[in-house]
Structure 1
Amino acid sequence: MQRLAFKMKLNNGQREAYKKRHDQLWPELKQLLKDNGVSEYSIFLDEETSTLFAFQKVSGEGGSQDLADNPVVKKWWDFMADIMETNPDNSPVSIPLEELFYLE
């Protein structure tokens, strides 16, 4: 089991929109993540900096960041592009974080 973490950036004033959209996560996206080995996925917000910190446990080689070619993922990116920092293809700007400590 891998533990992956990354950070993204939420546009100012978009906390409630981000939370609402994730509270209503599309069933097909949830299933896609599970089918690709994502067993836990949490996203935290640092309201002071609008930084999103994401953590996921993944079985296998990849995580949610490796589903870029999937049409459901692309549709989700388009849906989220107005409230967060994105790349030209509407994927979220995502910076992987290195794990330096883990207490089991």
Structure 2
Amino acid sequence: MKRIASIMYLKTGMEEEYEKRHDELWPEMKDTLKEHGASNYSIFLEPASGKLFAYLEVNDEDHYNQISATDICQKWWAYMEPLMETNADNSPISTPLTEVFYLE
């Protein structure tokens, strides 16, 4: 199992809308995440900075990374783009984190 963590960046004032959209996550997006091996996926907000900490587990990171090519992922990114700092393709700007400790 590979643990993946990253930081993403929310635009100021978008906290409630971001949470609302994830509370209403489209069923087809949930299915696609699971089909690409995502589990134990959590996102946490640091309200003072607007930084989002994302954590998930995957069995095969290469297979998980293929999610970005799916139509539903592209649609989700476009839907979330007004709320987040994004790249030119609407993917969230994210900073990968390096695991330095794990306690099972």
TM-score range, shorter chain: over 0.9
Measured in 2, the distance between the counterparts of 1:91 and 1:28 equals 18
Secondary structure of the corresponding residue to residue 67 of structure 1: helix
* TM-score, normalised via structure 2 length: 0.94
Secondary structure of the corresponding residue to residue 28 of structure 2: helix
Q: From the superposition, tell whether residues 19 and 63 of structure 1 become closer, same or farther in structure 2 (CA, over 3 Å).
A: farther
Partner of 1:90: 90
Amino acid at match of 2:99: E
Deviation at 1:40, TM superposition (A): 1.2
* TM-score, normalised via structure 1 length: 0.94
Structure 2: gaps (5+ residues): none
String of CA shifts for 1:17-76, please: whole Å, max 9, x gaps.
000000000000100111111111000001111100000011123475542111100000
Measured in 2, the distance between the counterparts of 1:88 and 1:61 equals 23
Deviation at 1:95, TM superposition (A): 1.2
How many pairs are equivalent?
A: 104
Measured in 2, the distance between the counterparts of 1:77 and 1:69 equals 11
Question: What percent of counterpart residues are identical?
Answer: 49
Measured in 2, the distance between the counterparts of 1:50 and 1:65 equals 25
Measured in 2, the distance between the counterparts of 1:26 and 1:70 equals 14
